[in-house]
Chains A and B, each alone.
Chain A
Amino acid sequence: MLAQQLVNGIISGATYALFALGFTLMFGVLNVVNLTYGVYFSTGALIALYATRHFGWPILLALPVAAIATGLIAVVIDGLLLTPLRRKKAPELASLMVTLGATLLLYSLMTAFIGTDIQRFPPAAIDPSAIEIGAVRITRSQMLIVGTAFAMVALLLALMRGTRLGLAIRALAENPDVARLMGVDVTLVTFFVSFVSGTLGAAAGILIGLNYNAIQPYMGEAMMLKGFAVIIIGGLGDIRGALIAGLILGLLEGLTAGYIASTLKDAVGFLLLVLTLWFRPVGLFGRAAAKRA
């Protein structure tokens, strides 16, 4: 049982990490807590759902198309809501509030049109059979989640540290005014980061929707609460921190439910969150990696 519980923990931890990546990137670079992120998670899953269901697209086509479409939506939302505030140099809480309002608006609009019934991808979208390694079972969609989470972290870190674009992003994260003086096209880089973050959110929504078969507009909201815990524990803006914090949270939750009591499962994340805020508010690894790397 222990081996399976550890695998369970890694899978749900990878789920949290995958979700938190785009969220923490947005915070680290753009310096806003963008609550509409949960909406991208739901939107991506819903777009991919309609593409597979109504146009019969295979998931391998629906996933990138839905993710890119959601990335563009994220750019539009950023342009409408956050760019004006940046121009005005409004306090950071103003941007948190505006995204909070937009989140409520978007969720309730989505439910007004498509309801809150859960839906799933057509069963043919992914082979449901599990692979057995000794006493441990893992399904294809679960492997896909774990693989994608690690691959995305590696890709993002490579982008940030190894490319000119990454340099520009880091400059923006450090100080937008200085970055502008250094010749960085701040507007373009901002949109790029929003795009990447929206794409990541959507991809997470699609993969997680594929695994748990519970797609509905509010799926992002439920995930947000875990997302907060993960990005604070991992350090706001820290990409590697999000992965590790996600895995720690997933493992601790699994072990708590398996060996202590399932009633305490949900409390684990928030206990970790409170401990982090009291003793290490900068997160596990200190200063945000996006700013430091």
Chain B
Amino acid sequence: MLKKLTALAALPLAASIWSAAALAQSKEPVTIGAIEILTGPNNKYGIAIKNGFDLALDSVNKNGGVLGGRPLAIAYEDSAGNKDQAINAARQLIGRSKVPLILGPTLSNEMFAAGPVANERKIPIVGTSTTANGITAIGPYVFRTSLPEADVVPVTLKTAQQKLGIKKVAVMYGNDDAFTKSGYDVMKGALEKLGIETLTTETFGSKDTDFSAQLTKIKSLNPDAIVVSALVEAGSGILLGKKALGFPEKVRVIGGNGLNAPKVMEIAGDAANGTLVGTPWFVGKSDPASEKFVDAYKAKYNMEPDQFAAQAYDTLFIVAKAINDAGAAEPEKIKDALGKVKYTGVMGPFSFTANRDPAETSGVVVIEMHDGKFRQFN
């Protein structure tokens, strides 16, 4: 039985050696792993992240690779958004491909499943898009470069309070999704802290399309704004529903990270106007490094990057720097180097806190949707 399984196992192994050999220039490449959602319903996130990695990878390898001329390579594993596949991918990257570091996985849920595996084997794992609470509490080998919602949402709400004089709001959140639920928890805390009154809290399912019942109730309570934790699909639906019910124009939607996507404006059209979100990065950011990234991304992929691509792009440089600082492709050394790394990328200055979360929040900007484009609000 075992013999047979070994034979089966050899097949993909042979394939990966072959493709790695084709990639190698002169020296043996340093291969790190990445677990992202490349297929299935949420693959838009994984693909944006992969694009960001690949763009940065081109640049790293064009400039001499890592560790004195060794090319850097990424072995991608698809998690399909499924936690069992994410665990499987982590185990195979560690046990079979022997990667010294793993990037990803895409969703917080997947990190809760795959993080403990990497942590147990003392392999650093770096999330670039996992914003839920408790991610880095999994263990000392779990890092993330994405600002948790807890750092972004309070800035958004505070800006809205100061600039728009918002006093009472209605809250809506998707209660069947880990990302939107944990976004809501942060909103609730931030609203209490800022002394903004919550008139009502309404929930919906992430696959819902009809929000009229909740919105009708909210309209009858006359809030100054609606605070929404939703993904793109439901978020767009809420904006359209709000318009259909004829809310006064001054009642804006204030969103979490889920609404921080150009897709929302594409779907909701002018119903999205005035929507506020906080973001660690946005495509219109006036900063030379950021503009260069946007141009390169557009040239390579023929579309605009989103924050997931930007975070992935910076993360790959951060990781490459840590590998160089470590002086060897060894997990323990890379982990220590990650803890000390300082880097300034398209999102601004970056370093890790002692808890392996991003230390800098100065890069957070509040942006506003306006006629199909994001523009700076604060």
Contacts and interface: CB of A to CB of B under 8 A. Distances in A.
A18 to B, nearest CB: 13
B267 A132 contact: no
Kindly name the residue among A137, A257, A263 whose own CB sees the greatest number of chain B CB atoms within 10 A: A257
A120 B271 CA distance: 14
Interface residues of B, number: 35
A80 interface: no
B94 interface: no
Q: Taking chain B's interface residues, is the majority helix, strand, or loop, or is none over half, making it mixed?
A: helix
Contact of B43 (A115, A142, A265): A115
Interface stretch (A3-11, A59-67, A169-177): A3-11
Interface stretch (A35-43, A211-219, A275-283): A211-219
A266 interface: yes
Interface residues of A, number: 41
B240 A213 contact: yes
A100 to B, nearest CB: 19
Given A263-B175, A263-B203, A258 B232 contact: no
Interface stretch (B142-150, B190-198, B204-212): B204-212
B367 to A, nearest CB: 21
A112 B38 CA distance: 11
A212 B210 contact: yes
Interface in B219-243: 219-220, 232-233, 236-237, 240, 243
A254 B245 contact: no
Given A116-B44, A257-B202, A262-B204, A214 B217 contact: no
A150 B40 CA distance: 37
B216 A139 contact: no
Contact of A116 (B41, B203, B209, B245): B41
Given A213-B240, A214-B209, A262 B41 contact: no
Nearest to B176: A266
B354 interface: no
B246 A137 contact: yes
A178 to B, nearest CB: 43
Contact of B232 (A9, A118, A128, A262): A118
Contacts of B43: 115-116
Contact of B237 (A12, A214, A218): A214
A262 B203 contact: yes
A11 to B, nearest CB: 7
B247 to A, nearest CB: 10
Kindly name the residue among B202, B213, B245 whose own CB sees the greatest number of chain A CB atoms within 10 A: B213
A48 to B, nearest CB: 17
A133 interface: no
A46 to B, nearest CB: 15
7 contacts: A4-B216, A123-B269, A212-B237, A213-B237, A218-B41, A257-B213, A263-B175
Interface of A: 1, 4-5, 8-9, 11-12, 15, 111-112, 115-120, 123, 128, 130, 132, 137, 139, 142, 208, 212-214, 216, 218-219, 222, 253-258, 262-263, 265-266
Given A1-B216, A11-B212, A257-B213, 6 more contacts: A12-B210, A137-B246, A213-B237, A214-B236, A257-B217, A263-B203
